[in-house]
Amino acid sequence: MMAELILKSLIILLALPAGYLLVSTVAAYLFKKEVSAKNRFLNIGVLIPAHNEEDGIVRTVEGILACDYPANRFEVYVIADNCSDDTAGKAKNAGARVFERFDSINRGKGQALDWFLKNSKESYRNTDAITIIDADVSPDKNFLGEISSSLSQPDIQAVQAYNGVSNPDAGWRPAIIDAAFNVFNHLRMAGSISLSGTSVLKGNGMAFRTSLLQRYGWPCHSIVEDMEFTLRLLQDGISVQYNPDAIVRSEMVTSGKNASSQRTRWESGRFKLVQKMAGPLLNLFLKTKDTCYLYALAELATPPLSLLVMLITLATAGSLLMLKGAWIIPVCCFWLILIFYVVSGQIQRRAPLSTWLYLASAPLYVLWKIPLYATMALQKKSTVWIRTARELKDRKNNNKK
């Protein structure tokens, strides 16, 4: 029967991401952070691209200024990009150097970064390194020190911090995203370093030698410009290291409307990048036989966890209803691998009790994602930088009532 053939093909295909997650999980336990013999306390520029972020930019700038790092060794730069609010004024009053950009045609985070790096070289000329963080970030006090420690090593040109959640106890959505970040932003990163010697940029908490950014600017302008730049660097033989002790945390939205907008943009951009880069990465692996390209392809092509759960659930139901014999065995193995993968991420990042407890609501999160994937399949893709709705302003307004 055609239905049985399709189901068997699905199970065979699911073995690929399941196998990669198993290997990554085991490899993550073997990960060891690169440790510098001496922290040289580099001169660091902290670059914050911001679009209409007047409600949170002060907290972010003040958080950076409060880092445990010599005050004469770092400076905060804010790109107030196409802002219609007082982001620029508030960032300046908080202690940042502000660079205002108005370009209604070339809109986007990548475009804003590229504009600053190419047109403001004199401003960051004396820096040794530049780290890029989002405008809603709470950095740990040792963030700059850890970035400096990583980039003090002569063989490291780019490093990615751990990008976590600041409000995992605010509801089931932030808690589930916290659990997902523990696997996607830590376990997969650590596993990738152990397997291939490089990881991926996450957009938030990235840091680079200044000389690298002076050479490249920011050439990637898609919604997933971070992943795109990772692959560009990989093609040029430049690896991205991972420092789990350099930590930035962002507040995750709790409302369904805001969360839907956020997740749709992230994942639709990722799917588009898979279509664009899968072929070139496979060709590079076949030409060079360098496994780093194969690992990069596997990392890029592995479906989001919620989508993988949907597909495995479909394979499980189909196996029980339509197939007989040994076909149920690989499906059971898929579930065991997923459990091992998710639990390992929480153990390795020492997840709070609230995250463990809210994991029971994971089925609700998966159900919530189903219409999002349907929407992504039907809607036209956009590359415009759309600011994620913040809930800080909503809370302030509610408190005034």
Q: What is the pLDDT of residue 377?
A: 61
Query: What are the structure tokens assigned to 256, written together?
Result: 């369904």
User: Residue 165 is encoded by which pair of tokens?
Assistant: 């959640």
**Beta-bridge mates of residue 76:** 46
Q: What is d(CA 142, CA 205) in angstroms, rounded to the nearest whole number?
A: 13
Digit-coded pLDDT (tens) for 275-291 = 777 888 888 889 888 88
Mean pLDDT of 373-393: 56
Range among 118-122, 175-179, 263-267, 298-302 rated most confident: 118-122
Q: Where is average pLDDT lowest: 121-135, 207-221, 306-320?
A: 306-320
Return the amino acid letter for 236. Answer: D
pLDDT at 259: 53
pLDDT band at 3 (very low <50, low <70, confident <90, very high): confident
Measured distance between the N- and C-terminal CA atoms of the chain, rounded to whole angstroms: 63
Are residues 36 and 67 in contact, defined by beta-carbon separation less than 8 angstroms?
A: no
Confidence of residue 395 (pLDDT cuts 50, 70, 90): very low
Proportion of the chain above pLDDT 70, given as a percent: 87
- The average pLDDT across 314-342 equals 91
SS (HEC) of the chain: CHHHHHHHHHHHHHHHHHHHHHHHHHHHHCCCCCCCCCCCCCCEEEEEEECCCCCCHHHHHHHHHCCCCCHHHEEEEEEEECCCCCHHHHHHHHCCEEEEECCCCCCCHHHHHHHHHHHCCCCCCCCCEEEECCCCEEECCCHHHHHHHHHCCCCCCEEEEEEEECCCCCCHHHHHHHHHHHHHHHHHHHHHHHHHCCCCCCCCCEEEEHHHHHHHCCCCCCCCHHHHHHHHHHHCCCCCEEEEEEEEEECCCCCHHHHHHHHHHHHHHHHHHHHHHHHHHHHHHHHHCCHHHHHHHHHHHCCCHHHHHHHHHHHHHHHHHHCCHHHHHHHHHHHHHHHHHHHHHHHHCCCCHHHHHHHHHHHHHHHHHHHHHHHHHHCCCCCCCCCCCCCHHHHHHHHHC
Higher pLDDT, 354 or 121: 121
Residue 401: burial class (beta carbons within 10 Å; 0-12, 13-18, 19+): exposed
Is residue 33 within 8 A of residue 153, CB to CB? The reply is: no
Whether residue 114 contacts residue 219, with contact meaning beta carbons closer than 8 Å, is answered with yes
Kindly report, residue by residue over 183-203, the tens digit of the pLDDT.
999 999 999 999 999 999 998
Judged on CB neighbours under 10 Å (0-12, 13-18, 19+), 92 is middle
The Cα–Cα gap between 355 and 175 comes to 5
Please give the Cα distance from 116 to 280 (Å, whole number).
29
Confidence of residue 301 (pLDDT cuts 50, 70, 90): confident
Q: Which of the four pLDDT bands, split at 50, 70 and 90, describes residue 258?
A: low
- The span from the CA of 249 to the CA of 172, in Å, is 17
pLDDT of residue 16 exceeding 80, the answer is: yes
* Residue that the structure tokens 């986007």 belong to: 108
Residue 173's pLDDT is 84
Report the share of the chain in percent with pLDDT over 90.
Answer: 59
- Residue 268 has a pLDDT of 62
pLDDT at 29 over 60: yes
pLDDT tier at 266, thresholds 50, 70, 90:
low
Query: From CA 199, how far away is CA 227, in angstroms rounded?
Result: 10
Q: CATH second-level architecture of 44-182+195-273?
A: Alpha-Beta Complex (3.90)
Residue 53: φ, ψ to 5°: -120, 35
Q: What is the pLDDT of residue 275?
A: 78
Q: What are 63-103's pLDDT values in tens digits?
A: 999 999 999 999 999 999 999 999 999 999 999 999 999 99
Q: Which of 32-36, 182-186, 361-365 has the highest mean pLDDT?
A: 182-186
Region 136-164 average pLDDT: 95
CA distance 108 to 387: 10
171 or 341: which leads in pLDDT = 341
Domain boundaries, the chain: 2-29+278-378, 44-182+195-273
Question: What span, in angstroms and rounded, lies between the C-alpha atoms of 173 and 397?
Answer: 22
Give the predicted TM-score (pTM) of the model: 0.87
Poorest-pLDDT segment among 53-67, 163-177, 184-198: 163-177
Confidence of residue 47 (pLDDT cuts 50, 70, 90): very high
Confidence of residue 327 (pLDDT cuts 50, 70, 90): confident
Q: Are strands 137-139 and 97-101 parallel, antiparallel or unpaired?
A: unpaired
Say which residue the tokens 């068997």 belong to. 8
